[in-house]
Structure 1
Amino acid sequence: MLEAARVSKASLPVIDIGGLSSPNLSDRKQVARNLRAACLHNGFFYISNHGVDEALVADVFAEAAAFFDLPPSQKAEVDKSRSKANRGYEPLQGQTLEPGAPPDLKEGYYIGPEHTADDPRVIAGMFNHGANQWPAARPNFKPVMQAFLEVMLDLSARMMGGIALSLDLPEAYFAGYCTDAMATVRLLHYPPQPAGGNPDQKGAGAHTDFGGLTLLRQGDVGGLQVWDQGSDGWIHADPVPGTFVVNLGDMIARWTNDKYRSTLHRVVNASGRERYSVPFFYTGNYAHNVECIPTCVPPGEAPKYPPITVEDHMRAMYKRTYK
C-alpha cells in the first residue's frame, strides 16, 4: 500500500529556470513553454539554476536538524498552540492530511513573514498574520530562516511570472497576488516508518497543497511520492541535488479551472533513516481574489469554482486538516 514506482525524468522533468531572470522576453517565454508542458502533465517538476545559495540551504537544514534534536521541553517552549498566527513547533502526529487516515508521522516548524501587533492586518484579525516564535536555544535559527524566507519570496514571484506566461497571460497577471505575499517556511522531520506499523499511517498522508506554489527542498533521504495520472499509480520524486521540487497548489487549480492540476502527493519514509525536508508554501496576498481565468474556461461552460479570497480559502483548508 505504501510502495511507488521509479520512473524516467520525463515524468518529473528538471527545468532550468535561469531564463526567467533574463532581460529578454524570448528567454522568459522559453522557460514558460517548459513550465506549461510540466503543468499540463503532473503539475510536479524540479527546477535548477534558481539562484538560491546552496550554503544558505545547508544552513537551513543544519538549523532544522539541530532544533528537532532539542529536548521536548525546549521544543514545547515555542509550540504552535502558543501562537495566534500558526507559527512555531508542531509536535509529531499534530496534523492529519489524508481524510480517514491516522495522524501524520512528522513533526514540523512554521515560519512566515513577521507582522507586529500594531500591523493593520493583525489588528483586523487576518488569518495567519502575526509574529513568529524563535527557539532561544538556537540563536542562529532566526537570521538563517529570515534570510531563506526572503530569497524564496523572490523566487516564488519569478515563478508566478513564468506561470502567467505559460498560460499566455501578461507576465504581470499575478502581480496583485504577489504583493504583500504570505508564505510559510515549514521545517519537517520524518522519523523512519515503523516496522509493523499501521499500513495506513504515513509520514504525510495523501493530499494536495493549499496555496499557489510549493517549492520543496529535500534532504538526501527520499520518501516523496506523487500520484501519476498516466500510470494511475504512485511514483517516486527522489532528491535531485541542487534543485527544488515544485508543485502547483489548489489555488492554481482554481485559477485555471483545473487546466493545471494540483496533484496528490504523500511521504513514506521507508529508508530506516531520519528524513528532513523544507517546503516553502507560497500563499500570496490574503486579500486577493482568486477567480477562474476566462481563457481557461471552455466556451459556453460555467467556471468550476466560484471566486474566493485567499484568506477564506486558507481558513477552509486549515479547518479541514486540523481538529
Structure 2
Amino acid sequence: MADIAIPVLRLTEARTPDGGFAPAFLDELRRALHEVGFLQLTDFGADAGQVDELADVTRRFFALPLADRLALDNRASPHFRGYTRLGHEITAGRPDAREQLDFAPEQAPLPRDEWDATYRLLEGPNQWPDASLPELREKVLAWAELLSGVGTELTRALAAALGLPETHFDAVFAAAPHWFGKLIRYVGVEDEDLQAQGVGPHADWGFLTLLLQDSTGGLQARPSRSGEWVDVPPLDGALVVNVGEMLEVATHGYLVATVHRVLPCRPGTTRQSIGFFWSPRLDATLDPVPLTRELAAHAPGVTETEHNAMLPRFGDNALKGWLRSHPEVAARHHADLLG
C-alpha cells in the first residue's frame, strides 16, 4: 500500500466573492487530479438531510423482496437500465459481488432504423419501483439534478485550472449530457468466485465520477504515478471524485482515469454506495485541449491496452463499456454487436 493521502477540497471555496475561480482552489484541484486522480469533495450543496434520506431509501430498495427487484430486471432493457442481480455485472473479466440499480436521463427510445449511430441504443426509459417504493424515483432524480450542477461546476473549474476559459467544455455537455448513475449494494458471500472482488480493477469511461460511499470502507485507487493501491477512506458528507476516460482523452493524459477497485465485504456484511457518472452528450467528441507548455510536458498521452481502447466519441466509449460489463443484456438484445 502506498502512503498517499487523498486530497480533500471544499466546493464552497471554489469561487471568490467576485464570481471568479479562486486560484488556490484551482491549484489544489489540478494537483489532486493530476498526481492522484482522486479527491474528496465536501460542502457541495446538498440540502439538510438529503444525503441521509437518499442513503435510507437506497437501503429500503435493496431490502425489497427479490421479486420486486427482479420486476426491474435489466435483462429486459435493451438500454442497460434497471436492476442487476448479485454477481451479474462483470469487471476485469470476473463477476462482481454486488447488486445495483442503473439509471440515466429519461429518454424515448429511437427505432433502430432511425439511429445515426449504434450508441443510440443507450437512450431509453428507466425502470423504477413505483409500486413498491414510489419515493425512490423522486429522491434519486433530485440527487442527479444536484450532482449535474456539481459536475458542471467542477468541469468549469478544471477548464480554468488547465489555463482554458471556464466554458471550454460547455459545448460537449450542452442540451443532453448523458450522465448515468448506480445505486449499489455489495454483499459479502461465501462463494469464493464472487468474494474475489467487490468490483475488479477498472477505470470509469465517463468524464468525472462523483461517488457517495458509506462508512464501511473498501474503495482503493491505484495512481498511475505510484502503481500501488491507496485506500480512499470514507469521509462523512463527502463525494469521492475521480477522473474518467473522456477527461483523460481531452487532456492527452495529463489527467489520468485512475484504476480503482472495491475489496469484497466479509461474509454476512454489506456495503452501500451511490455512483454518479458525469458525462457529455453521446455524440460529443473530446478532442485534446491546448495545454500550456508546462502542463503538456506532463501529458504523455492516453493509456490504452489491447482490452481497452480509448474512444474519443463518448457514445462509442460508453457502449464499449456497457457491452463488456453486462454480457447477458448484450447477448439478449445486441448479439449482432458482439465480436
- Does the 8 Å contact 1:226/1:264 carry over to 2? yes
Corresponding residue number in structure 2 for 1:107? 99
Q: How far is 1:291 from its partner?
A: 1.2
Question: Residues 40 and 308 of structure 1: is their aligned pair in 2 closer, same or farther, counting only changes over 3 Å?
Answer: closer
* Residue 187 (str. 1) matches residue 177 (str. 2): no
> Secondary structure at 1:70's aligned position in 2?
coil
What one-letter code is carried by the residue in structure 1 that aligns with 2:315?
A: E
Question: Residues 308 and 228 of structure 1: is their aligned pair in 2 closer, same or farther, counting only changes over 3 Å?
Answer: closer
Q: Distance in 1 between matches of 2:64 and 2:161?
A: 44
Q: Distance in 2 between matches of 1:54 and 1:215?
A: 19
Identity percentage of aligned residues: 25
Give 1:242's match in structure 2, choosing from 237, 257, 274. Answer: 237
* Residue 84 (str. 1) matches residue 78 (str. 2): yes
Question: Residues 310 and 23 of structure 1: is their aligned pair in 2 closer, same or farther, counting only changes over 3 Å?
Answer: farther
Q: Distance in 1 between matches of 2:61 and 2:71?
A: 12
Q: How far is 1:182 from its partner?
A: 1.4
Q: How far is 1:28 from its partner?
A: 3.6
Corresponding residue number in structure 1 for 2:322? 318
Corresponding residue number in structure 1 for 2:333? none
Corresponding residue number in structure 2 for 1:255? 250
Corresponding residue number in structure 2 for 1:281? 277
Question: Residues 296 and 103 of structure 1: is their aligned pair in 2 closer, same or farther, counting only changes over 3 Å?
Answer: farther
> Secondary structure at 1:233's aligned position in 2?
coil
Q: Distance in 2 between matches of 1:287 and 1:228?
A: 29
Question: Residues 307 and 74 of structure 1: is their aligned pair in 2 closer, same or farther, counting only changes over 3 Å?
Answer: closer
Q: Distance in 2 between matches of 1:22 and 1:98?
A: 43
* Residue 292 (str. 1) matches residue 288 (str. 2): yes
Question: Residues 123 and 146 of structure 1: is their aligned pair in 2 closer, same or farther, counting only changes over 3 Å?
Answer: farther
What one-letter code is carried by the residue in structure 2 that aligns with 1:83?
A: S
What are the within-5 Å matches in structure 2 for residues 153-164 of structure 1? Answer: 153-164=148-159
> Secondary structure at 1:62's aligned position in 2?
helix
Aligned length: 313
Q: Distance in 2 between matches of 1:247 and 1:109?
A: 21
Query: Which moved further from structure 2: 266-275 or 251-260?
Result: 266-275
Give 1:227's match in structure 2, choosing from 217, 222, 239. Answer: 222
Query: Which moved further from structure 2: 16-25 or 148-157?
Result: 16-25
Structure 2's unaligned 5+ residue stretches are 305-309, 328-339
What one-letter code is carried by the residue in structure 1 that aligns with 2:76?
A: R
- Does the 8 Å contact 2:103/2:180 carry over to 1? yes
Query: What do the CA deviations read for 1:120-171 (whole angstroms, capped 9, x no partner)?
Result: xx97672421211111210111111111111111110111001101111110
Q: Distance in 2 between matches of 1:27 and 1:57?
A: 26
Q: Distance in 1 between matches of 2:109 and 2:325?
A: 27
- Does the 8 Å contact 1:255/1:293 carry over to 2? yes
Q: Distance in 1 between matches of 2:27 and 2:140?
A: 32
> Secondary structure at 1:308's aligned position in 2?
coil
Q: Distance in 2 between matches of 1:320 and 1:154?
A: 29
Corresponding residue number in structure 1 for 2:49? 55
Query: What do the CA deviations read for 1:232-278 (whole angstroms, capped 9, x no partner)?
Result: 32121111001101000011111111111111100013455210000
Question: Residues 281 and 54 of structure 1: is their aligned pair in 2 closer, same or farther, counting only changes over 3 Å?
Answer: farther
TM-score by length of 1: 0.87
Q: How large is the RMSD of aligned CA atoms in angstroms?
A: 2.8
Q: Distance in 2 between matches of 1:283 and 1:72?
A: 31
Q: How far is 1:38 from its partner?
A: 0.4
TM-score by length of 2: 0.84
Corresponding residue number in structure 2 for 1:138? 133
